[in-house]
Structure 1
Amino acid sequence: MKIGYCAASAIALLWLAGCGGGGSGGVGSTPAPTPAPTPAPTPTPSANSTMTDLKVSQSFTSDAAKLTGTWDLASGTAIEGSSKAAVLSIRYDAATKGYTLVSEARNVSFGTTDIVSQDAYDTVYRRSDGTSRENLTLVKQPYTGDTARRYVAMGFWQSNTVSDGRQSTEFSSFTYGLPTVANAVPRSGAAAYGIDMFGLVTMPGEEPASMQGSGKLSVDFTQGIFTAQANTTEYGLVSGATTSGGSLELRAGGSLSSGDGTFSGTAVYGSLSGQASGTISGRFYGPAGEELGATFQTANAQGMAAVGSLVGVRDASLTPDAQTIAALMSGQEASLGGDGSGSVHWLNSETFDFQGSSSMVGGRFTINDKIASRNPNFTTYAKTGDNGYGPVQATLELYKPATTNAELTLTYSSFGHWAGTGAGVSTRDSYFTYGFTTGANFLAARTGKASYEGVAYGTGTSYTSSARYDVTGTSRVNVDFGAQTFGGTLALAGTERASGTAANFGNYDMAGQITARSSSLQGNINQGAENLGDISAKFFGPDAQELAGTFYVNASTVGGTPENVGISGVIATIRK
């Protein structure tokens, strides 16, 4: 970190001051040296190859975000603040070794005479016209990193104006550099980047603070998605107070562009003042995507605003986080939702540990536990166990992921069905979902509408007889992110297990609310004006690409002799 570096550099300077070329010794007679040949002139470079040693003038590609705020100087607290993605250009002039920055409303040039401090981490420029002050900080080595980035850099451009005891501030955070050309961006495999970030956060009534931290950004180049997390420390701009731990972190996720080296998505910054949601945008840098840079901007309804930048370098010592169900099967754990609270932990593509609720027999399932499946889109396992209530014959059906499923190609979510039968005890059925849920508060700032379509599976039990039904169907969910509401339809049919008789359970309406903080929804299942059940589901994927959850409905057969049947089941859908 920079504080540690400053201390070390001070010691180094003292040491250098005490060292000199000592020794006396006379000047001896030395023969005249042989004239050296005139060296060939060094060719003038035509382009910059690294950000650490700029040779020629260049306008750089950049991504930027801006925070505009007003601070009360007497109390040292923020009055208001807002954030947004911004457009910013930065140009280096090799002749003057200066920079010109242009934004929507500002155009300022900084030269070598404007430098007020410079070290291995950053160079700080300052200009003032008496009424306002312009500050530019160009970061060469990230404050939480130990080496300079070769192809990407970050910067902060701040304009301050003071009037009537208030400071008006415009703070632009940006990354810039030598971007990876489109055909050199990796399109397969996965990678992890060690990231370092810095930014500014404000909240009305609270002391403005800078934040810095480090973490990891994982990229699945094959699927074209990314996820990032960094723990941060905040530093009060007035008191210098330090805050860390707890909920202080940056989380982000989204998609890579298929046409160039950019990426974008959702960002959430967590502070002691709350959670703020917004966007992140960035790109890969270097000849083959060795580095990356991005900026984020977030805000919430209480007036909190935060902007910042991050830079990263590919690090082979870091393991990329799995982001898809297919990758999950290589050895990671996912929590269960629905009836089966617990987890499924894949050890390899054929072995996993399953833990459901206390009444569900679980344990390790291997290739030797596989049995023939009733449905080719499921993989089925059988196991006998004792959970403390006597022996139970259990079957576990897992919906096949991705292209191995001929019915629905799920990437980020999946579901399962556990059924257990004990001596003298009727069969118990539990349905659950699992996968990569959309991050908490990722939907808080989202607007617009989306439609999700998919399948439904369940088990029906007659209230008046011993009949049990295998239930299938279709599901459609229409989401209004701006209003945080949803509606939809559920169409169910079944087959009675003993007789094979088909049953039509009809169509149902669904409606309810979205909970942004947990990226989930809850609602009722109705038929006409009658409430017959409920549904609870979560969004999956970095951009809420999928929606899956469990439901229960009191259904009646349509046609023939009416029969009341309670159906518990699961839906899985993909955004259209």
Structure 2
Amino acid sequence: MIYTGTFSGKFYGPGAAETGGTFFASNGPDAMLTGYFVGDRDPGLIDASLPLAAYTDPATFVLNSAHDPVYVDSNEELDFDPDTGQLVYKEVVGSAFVPFTIKASDIVAGTADDDRVYYETNQGDRQLSGWVHNIAPGNGEIELTYTSFAAFRTTYGSGPGSQQNDNFITFGNATPSALIPRTGSASYSGIALGGAELAGIGYDGTVHGTSDLTANFNAASFTSKLVLFTDEMTPRSIGTFLFNGNIYESGFGGNVSEYPTYSGQMVGDFYGPHADEYGYAWTVNYYTSAPGGALGNTLYGIAVGKKD
């Protein structure tokens, strides 16, 4: 049901710190509404315009994570201190955070200025290795303003009883709910990367490719596409995978479109003051026929990009 009408109000206080006013709307002869609104300045709406490279205060980011075994969630966190360059990756194990402190001194020599900054840290019976997308301007892999991404391998213990987790994550200056568009549409494009166990072609390793996303803000829905390849000297095509889903008050989520041929999920966020960029974690599972049965294939990873 569509209402039309008018509203009017004023700003109050120094620097237009507060606002208030009245509104009236109707959908014709059937219904009408009237009321008032009041509010004050929300620093989060102003901060939404801040590029990651311009952060000066410590921040905690909620992550979109893809894991092996294959699943996605938005439960983990990453603390960032721009003064020291220190990160704290809070991996969820069971029902609790397990923190990994990642210092500037943990940077692998020679990678500090690369497109991906590599880290290695040993914290007693726990180890972490991996990389973080370099947010400095001019990144050759993909240049983003409000979004970043990373891949971490965590290891607990040593020897035959050790536990190893592979995690791909996206994070950034997420678009506040009040600034996510509710009308119109937008097209985005970017990259995808992750890990795979592909029995159908005998491959177990990392993958890369392209991603795109089309958001229909009128309908609060989206579609997205991944085109994936193996990370080999001569990359092999894995396939094209389609997703669709819903845009929520904050973020978005959905499933693989070709169910039951494929199954999989995704969860993500828009980043920047006008939903300028996207980042999401994804999974794909499918079977390929084989003599006497079927071969399982699993993929998991992340996709990031920006408006076309």
Same fold, judged at TM 0.5 (above): yes
Q: Deviations over 1:22-65 (max 9, x none)?
A: xxxxxxxxxxxxxxxxxxxxxxxxxxxxxxxxxxxxxxxxxxxx
Give the alignment partner of residue 38 of structure 2, picking from 212, 232, 245: 212
Question: Paired residue for 1:507?
Answer: 239
Note the 1:9-24 alignment, pairs <5 A: none
- Please tell me whether residue 379 in structure 1 is matched to residue 117 in structure 2: yes
Alpha-carbon offset, residue 337 of structure 1: 2.0
Give the AA of the match of 2:155. T
RMSD, matched Cα: 3.8
Conservation of the 8 A alpha-carbon contact between 2:284 and 2:299: yes
- Please tell me whether residue 369 in structure 1 is matched to residue 136 in structure 2: no
Question: Paired residue for 2:209?
Answer: 473
Question: Paired residue for 1:354?
Answer: 89
Q: Deviations over 1:171-221 (max 9, x none)?
A: xxxxxxxxxxxxxxxxxxxxxx66221112568899954333433558xxx
Q: Deviations over 1:310-353 (max 9, x none)?
A: xxxxxxxxxx6772211236532222122462322222252233
Give the AA of the match of 1:510. L
Gaps of 5+ in 1: 1-79, 87-136, 148-192, 219-226, 229-319
Question: Paired residue for 1:539?
Answer: 270
Number of paired residues?
A: 284
CA 1:197–1:511 in structure 2 vs 1: closer, same or farther (change >3 Å)? same
Q: Deviations over 1:298-318 (max 9, x none)?
A: xxxxxxxxxxxxxxxxxxxxx
Larger radius of gyration: 1
Give the alignment partner of residue 198 of structure 1, picking from 17, 20, 23: 20
Note the 1:61-210 alignment, pairs <5 A: 82-83=4-5, 142=12, 145=13, 195-201=17-23, 208-210=34-36
CA 1:440–1:210 in structure 2 vs 1: closer, same or farther (change >3 Å)? same
Give the AA of the match of 1:545. D
Alpha-carbon offset, residue 531 of structure 1: 1.9
Conservation of the 8 A alpha-carbon contact between 1:460 and 1:471: yes
What is the distance in 2 between the residues matched to 1:444 and 1:322?
A: 15
Q: Deviations over 1:287-307 (max 9, x none)?
A: xxxxxxxxxxxxxxxxxxxxx
Question: Paired residue for 2:70?
Answer: none
Conservation of the 8 A alpha-carbon contact between 2:48 and 2:175: no
Give the AA of the match of 2:126. V
- Please tell me whether residue 331 in structure 1 is matched to residue 63 in structure 2: no
Q: Deviations over 1:543-564 (max 9, x none)?
A: 111111011123689xxxx975
Local SS of the residue matching 2:236: strand
What is the distance in 2 between the residues matched to 1:352 and 1:532?
A: 34
CA 1:321–1:471 in structure 2 vs 1: closer, same or farther (change >3 Å)? closer
What is the distance in 2 between the residues matched to 1:566 and 1:370?
A: 31
Local SS of the residue matching 2:197: strand
Gaps of 5+ in 2: 67-73, 289-293
CA 1:321–1:464 in structure 2 vs 1: closer, same or farther (change >3 Å)? closer
Conservation of the 8 A alpha-carbon contact between 1:477 and 1:489: yes
What is the distance in 2 between the residues matched to 1:543 and 1:377?
A: 26
What is the distance in 2 between the residues matched to 1:383 and 1:506?
A: 33
Question: Paired residue for 2:175?
Answer: 438
What is the distance in 2 between the residues matched to 1:83 and 1:519?
A: 29
Give the AA of the match of 2:283. Y
Question: Paired residue for 1:421?
Answer: 155
What is the distance in 2 between the residues matched to 1:530 and 1:330?
A: 47
CA 1:384–1:217 in structure 2 vs 1: closer, same or farther (change >3 Å)? closer
Alpha-carbon offset, residue 474 of structure 1: 0.8
What is the distance in 1 between the residues matched to 2:282 and 2:59?
A: 27
When normalised by structure 2's length, the TM-score is 0.75
Q: Deviations over 1:491-537 (max 9, x none)?
A: 11123xxxx6655243223131222322413231549x722423222
When normalised by structure 1's length, the TM-score is 0.43
